[in-house]
Structures are given as C-alpha cells and as structure tokens.
Structure 1
Amino acid sequence: MPTPLTYAAGLALAVAALVGVAGCGEPAQPTEEGTVSVPIQPTLTAVTPEPETVDTSAPGAGGLFDLGDLLTTESCDQAGGVWSYRGTFTNETDDELDISVAISLASSADLNLLTVHEVELTVPAGETVPVEAPDFYSDQDVDPASVQCLTGVTDKDQ
C-alpha cells in the first residue's frame, strides 16, 4: 500500500515536469529597449501533391518518341510449343535509326514474364524492314491462351 510520502514524491515529480514543459518556448528576458527575442517556431503545412499528368503521345526529352507506333505485328504465335514473331518496322523519320525491338511473352493472369527476346536492326530513313524472331521461345507446357505477346521499340542512339 502506497504511503503518503510516496504520493508526495509523485506529486512533486509531476509538478516539476509540468513546470519544465511550461517553460519551453518562453522568450528570453527583455533587453533595455524592452524587446524580446523569440526563436522562430517551425510551422507544419499540409502537402497535397497533385499527380503528374504525362502526355504519352508527345515527344519525350531529347526528341525521343514512341517507336512502338512504327512497329506492326503480323504474328506472334506458337506451333508445337515453339514461339515465333513476325512483323515490320517503318522508319517514318528523315534519319537512319538503330533500334532494338523487345518481344516479351507474359502471363495474361498476372503479367509475369516468361521470356524477353531482343532483335536489333538498322532501319534507313523512310524504309520498312521485316522484324523476325523465329523460334525465340520453347515450352511445351505453356497454354497459348494464357499468354500475351508484348512488344516495345527503343532507339539505341538515344
């Protein structure tokens, strides 16, 4: 059972803590001119970031553009468990392009990649060239209905 001395000690400790906390942020003693120096207290403001809007059809930094728009896929099929890709790339620019075409097979359910195959090409200005990746992936257990063929094109010089 606590004694009156224990209560008195607890009360004294609580009063000391309260006086200590109450003294925080108090201004210094006034100067002879009657002014007081008070340290600047930080102010919290709510930050409400707005999501960045990106126009994916516009040219990117450094004159880059989506080269994937210049790729036409004719087929990305599986026969006997072996996948092949066929398409064309049309260079609509005035410059020769060194490109890398990425052909990916991904699960339709969760987009997990099965494979990524790259084809590197040099395409003269204004020309159309075939893009082919015969037998780029082999797996007898992959159901073609559960797979998506995804492509992307990058300019290797950018």
Structure 2
Amino acid sequence: MRTPMTYAAGLGLAAATLLGAAGCAQPEQAPTDGGTVSVAIQPTITPLRTEPETVSTTAAGTGGLFDLGELLTTTSCDQTGGVWSYRGTLANDTGEELDVTVAISLVSSADEKLLTVHELDLRVPAGETVPVEAPSFYSDQDVDPATVQCLTGVTDKEQ
C-alpha cells in the first residue's frame, strides 16, 4: 500500500527527470519568415555512411589463399563421354621447395552452382616444373560441357 509520502516522492522524481531532460535540449531558435528554424549541427552527431564499401576482387590479396595461382598453367580441362580430366603444369620459380594444394573446380556457368572440387597435393622442388594431372576426376553424363567453367587455384600448405 502506498502512502501519501510515496506518491509525493514519485511526483518529485518525475518532475526532476523532466526538468533534467529539458535542460539538455538545444537553445530555442526564432523561426524565420518561412516558419522554419535553423539549428547548428552538434559536434557529437556524425552522418551515417549509406553506400557500401567497395572491395576490389580482381587481384589476390597479400598472403591470401590463391597467391600461387600464377604458377599454374592449364593445358586442358575438358570432358570426354561425360568424364572430366585436367592437365597442366606448376612451375616453381622460387628458391625454396613448395608444398602446395592445387584445387580444380567445375562450376555451372548457367546458375553458378559448384559441381565438384578436386584437390591435388604436390611438392615442387625449387626451380622445377611438375605436371599436374587429374584424370577422370568428375563424371556426369547429364552435364553439358558448354555450360561449365573449369576454375583453378593453388594454395601454399605452409601458410
């Protein structure tokens, strides 16, 4: 049960809150002839960025996953009788042995659906070129080769 003193304390608290909030308001400005009020922007207000950040995806990032893709040369990535095979070479032009994974992906160019990813682990001595072969890595009689892209990437397993 509330007493008259509790009601008085609540009323005093509400009045103090309203007066405190009113003290935080900006100074009153006189309206112009058109009826508008001009108020200076407060230094604590910062505009929000509404445009998305632009990121370039055309070049590999430093230390990224596919920084060694330039070392891979594709000779062929095609299918015969519904069976896909890949051939290429990987040239190590560095002064150190490379321990890499070559990823071969088939992607539908119609709907960008990933059909398969095949990975090969290779060790390439310094200054040498090794063959990269994935015979019969994917089989599907219903896939039209004209609607498929063969994508590759090379990752350094040491990073």
TM-score of the pair, normalised by structure 1: 0.68
* Contact persistence 2:66–2:154 (CA under 8 A): no
Gap change, CA 1:115 and 1:126, over 3 Å in 2: same
- Structure 1: stretches of 5+ with no match in the other structure: 1-16, 28-40
Cα distance in 2 for residues equivalent to 1:61 and 1:116 = 22
| 2:45 aligned partner | 44
- Structure 2: stretches of 5+ with no match in the other structure: 1-13, 25-41
Cα distance in 2 for residues equivalent to 1:142 and 1:106 = 11
Quote how far apart the aligned CAs of 1:51 are.
3.5
Cα distance in 2 for residues equivalent to 1:51 and 1:143 = 35
| 2:153 aligned partner | 152
Amino acid at match of 1:96: E
Percent of paired sites with the same residue = 68
TM-score of the pair, normalised by structure 2: 0.68
| 2:141 aligned partner | 140
Amino acid at match of 1:56: A
Gap change, CA 1:81 and 1:157, over 3 Å in 2: same
Quote how far apart the aligned CAs of 1:80 are.
0.6
Once superposed, which parts of structure 1, at least 4 consecutive aligned residues long, lie more than 2 Å away?
20-23, 41-44, 47-58
SS in 2 for 1:69: helix
Equivalent pairs counted in the alignment come to 126
| 1:125 aligned partner | 126
Quote how far apart the aligned CAs of 1:127 are.
0.3
RMSD: 3.0
| 2:21 aligned partner | 24
SS in 2 for 1:24: helix
Cα distance in 2 for residues equivalent to 1:112 and 1:53 = 23
Match for residue 59 of structure 2 among 52, 56, 60:
56
Quote how far apart the aligned CAs of 1:55 are.
8.0
